[in-house]
Structure 1
Amino acid sequence: MPLLTRTVNTPLAIDVRRGAVADLGPLLADRRISAGGEVAVVVGPGQGERIAELCRPGLGKAEVFTVAGGTLDAALELGERLRRRNYDAVVGIGGGKTIDTAKYAASRYALPMVSVATSLANDGIASPVASLDHEGGKGSYGVQIPIAVVVDLDFVENGPDRQTQAGIGDALSNLSAVADWELAHRVRAEPIDGLAVTLARTGAEALVNHPGKITDDAFLTTLAEALILGGLAMSVSGSSRPASGGCHEISHALDELHPGAGSHGEQVGLGALFCTYLRGDLERFAQLASCLHRHGLATTPADLGLSDEDFVAAVHHAPCTRPGRYTILEHLDLPRDVIGERLANYVDAIREHLG
């Protein structure tokens, strides 16, 4: 009988703990990523520069590049600078913008990339996607998944709470994204990847059921692992499907219609909660609402400074942001007045549940 297998790209190493950064040099050597520290270290403003100094003793031949981060122009400029010397790898140290910039530049020139996250704001720390701003808005670009992922909880703890809260919203939204994917599979026979579903849902389930707070190491570890699993799920499926559904469509619409209303994680968390309500899954709705509220995330449009009319307009516009993706929003295809009625009922349900 033939043995059927498939190859799954995953990082060679994942290290989530306090003090992890101090062992970056040995990790690169032990995993044969870079025996002599011949790496390009990419840092952004803030904690990234501090971490680079901490790593320097173990990376004797490293060259440090400081980037503004987050734009396609910055990533292309970094790539041009990387061409001038042979590097074993690129080490991106910082938040999501810095890491996405490093991922794109490293992939463009076929260099392995190590992700050293100073915050847990989104699943970009381990995903095969780089989100970068350009003249026309924001684009998502396919890149190679990081060859190693390091999360030092000391630096996560010292960062803004709002970044960690955003990461919670992003990780929890996978529950809604997976439900949308399963809906598309049932209704439109869209192919679905069971392993990707398992990875995305397992991390989010662990998070939504965790009793800890963002000040607890055990909770932060669970959050980091949930975000990493979400990134791996996208790598396995070859698309953002397991981590992006109607929740992300709503967030994209808010970015277009009301830029700056909230962080990506706050918006997709709210979008996931509203989509879950539309789906009629009241048990999951109550579970998500309790978790988001417990960690200080938005559960109503007003929590983001939006009027009901603002949110209705975003939900109505949301399917236009991702043509071809089938979610609960496309499935119901609600006119604006009906979205308004559903939102009013949703807000009542939130008040009843949260008191």
Structure 2
Amino acid sequence: MSVLTRLIPSPVVVDIRSGALDDLGLILSDQRIAPSGRLAIAISPGSGQALRERFAPVLPDADWFTDADGTIDGAVRLADSIKKAGRYDTVVALGGGKVVDCAKYAAARLGLSLVAVATNLANDGLCSPVATLDNDAGRGSYGVPNPIGIVIDLDLIKDAPPRFVQAGIGDVICKISAVADWELSQRVNGEQVDGLAAAMARQAAEAVLRHPGTIADNAFLTTLAESLVLCGISMSVAGDSRPASGACHEISHAFDLLFPKRNALHGEQCGFGGVFATFLRGDHETARHMADTLRRHSLPVLPTEMGFSEADFVQAVEFAPQTRPGRYTILEHLNLSTDEIKDAYADYAKAISS
């Protein structure tokens, strides 16, 4: 009898703990990551300077680059700067989501591996096979390899603005809705669901949803960080963003495209979008549980709590299916009219407030 297995793209190193950065030099000296010790380290133009001052003495063979500004142009500049500077074993992204996404794109462009050293937990991009970058049309998603290493120092995460950690909670919890959308498409359209990818994303979300701690607790931060990593790997398992992105992300992308000057975070929008989509699906009990968890972590559950009016929200829901053509979610399934969206939102707002 033959035994069939599959190889899952995943990091060779995942280090999530207090004090992880104290061992950064040792981690990066791993022969699987940097056999010659030649590192190209991407940091943000501003706040990254303090990190450079801390780590430059312990990484003497590293070169530092400050082109990572969260745009596709910045990612291309970063790749060009690294290419011109010399030969490297790997690219290290040291910072938040913008730095990580720029570095992922640049590393892919150069055929180099990437180590992501996260300074916040705002979304699942730190381990996903996708780089989300601003471009002339607004924002785009670009396929890239998974990072070869993930380093998350909980002490550094606690120093991040709380909002940039809370947002990650929303981006994880919404996977409950994303997986449900995937399974809906399977029932209606026969779309194939990868059971392992779905299980990884759903269980990651459930772990955060049911954890009693707060972002002040190392135990909760560990669960959140591990869940974000698992969500990223679930996309690699599926070969698609399906296990992590459904109506929740369609609504978030619609907000981004229609109202680009608003300052709501991706994870905030996705968390809210996931609750609303779950309510639309008729699973009101789960929607209330999700909403209660978001509230407990000081995350928005209404558009007005993110600076959007009810009319803005209705416009976003109408536009949302256009952000992912071909993707089937509860929004495409119900195909609600403007008045039906208004009525559904009124019912939702009443239900989660009761």
TM range (shorter): over 0.9
Name 2:177's counterpart in structure 1. 176
SS in 1 for 2:98: helix
| Correspondence for 1:322 among 316, 321, 324 | 324
Residue 347 (structure 2) aligned to one of 345, 348, 352: 345
Q: Secondary structure at the match of 1:104?
A: helix
CA contact (8 A) 1:12 1:31 kept: no
Are residue 254 (structure 1) and residue 293 (structure 2) matched? Answer: no
8 Å CA contact 1:36, 1:60 repeated in 2: no
CA distance in 1, matches of 2:229, 2:52: 22
Cα 1:201–1:31 change in 2 (3 A) is farther
Residue pair 1:253, 1:321 contacting (<8 A) in 2 also: yes
C-alpha distance in structure 1 between counterparts of 2:223 and 2:149, whole Å: 18
**Residue of structure 1 equivalent to 2:62:** 62
What SS is found at the alignment partner of 1:125?
Answer: helix
Which TM-score applies when normalising by structure 1? 0.96
SS of match in other structure, 2:145: coil
> 1:119·1:164 contact (CA, 8 Å) conserved in 2?
yes
How far did 1:82 drift?
1.6
Match of 1:274 in 2: 276
Instruction: State the Cα deviation string for residues 43-75 of structure 1 (Å, max 9, x = none).
Output: 114543323333333322111111242011111
- Normalised to the residue count of structure 2, the TM-score between the two structures is 0.97
When the two chains are superposed, the root-mean-square deviation of aligned CA atoms in Å is 1.2
1:20 alignment counterpart: 20
Quote the Cα distance in structure 1 between the aligned partners of 2:309 and 2:140: 28
What are the Cα deviations for residues 64-98 of structure 1, in whole angstroms up to 9, with x where unaligned? 11124201111111111222311011001000000
Deviation at 1:188, TM superposition (A): 0.6
Q: Secondary structure at the match of 1:338?
A: helix
Corresponding letter in the other structure for 1:303: E
1:255 Cα offset (Å): 1.2
Contact kept? 2:172, 2:227, Cα under 8 Å: yes
8 Å contact from structure 1 (residues 121, 167) kept in 2? yes
Three-state SS of the structure 2 residue aligned to 1:74 is helix
Change (3 A) 1:146 1:68: closer
The whole-number CA distance in structure 2 between the counterparts of 1:22 and 1:39 is 17
Aligned length: 352
Mapped to 2, the partners of 1:280 and 1:261 lie a distance apart of: 30
Structure 1 segments (4+ residues) deviating >6 Å: none
Cα deviation per residue 1:138-180 (whole Å; 9 max; x = unaligned)? 1100001000000111111111111011111111111110010
For the 8 Å contact 1:131–1:140, the answer to whether it is kept is yes
Relative distance call for 1:17 and 1:31 in structure 2 (3 A) is farther
Q: Which amino acid in structure 2 is aligned with residue 25 of structure 1? A: G
CA–CA distance in structure 2, aligned partners of residues 193 and 279 of structure 1: 21
Answer yes or no: is the 8 Å Cα contact 1:41–1:64 preserved in 2.
yes
Alpha-carbon distance between aligned partners in 2 of 1:37 and 1:53, rounded to the nearest angstrom: 19
- Contact preservation (8 Å) 2:68, 2:103: no
- Residue 141 of structure 2 corresponds to 140
Does the CA-based 8 Å contact 1:128-1:145 persist in structure 2?
A: yes
- Residue of structure 2 in register with 1:8 after alignment: 8
Q: In 1, are the aligned partners of 2:115 and 2:147 still within 8 Å (CA)?
A: yes
1:180-204, CA deviations, whole angstroms, 9 ceiling, x for partnerless residues? 0011011110011111111111111
Give, as a single letter, the amino acid of the residue that structure 2 aligns with 1:76: V
Instruction: Give the deviation of 1:31 after TM superposition.
Output: 4.7
2:332 corresponds to which letter in structure 1? E
SS of alignment partner, residue 270 of structure 1 = helix
Cα deviation, residue 137, structure 1:
1.5
Q: 1:77 is matched with which residue?
A: 77
* Structure 2 segments unaligned to the other structure (5+ residues): none
Match runs of 1:234-253 below 5 Å: 234-253=235-254
Q: CA deviation at 1:349?
A: 0.5
| 1:263 counterpart residue number | 265
Summarize deviations over 1:104-156 as a string: whole Å, max 9, x none: 00011110100000000011110110011111221100001000000111111
Task: Check the 8 A contact 2:288/2:351 in 1, yes or no.
Answer: no
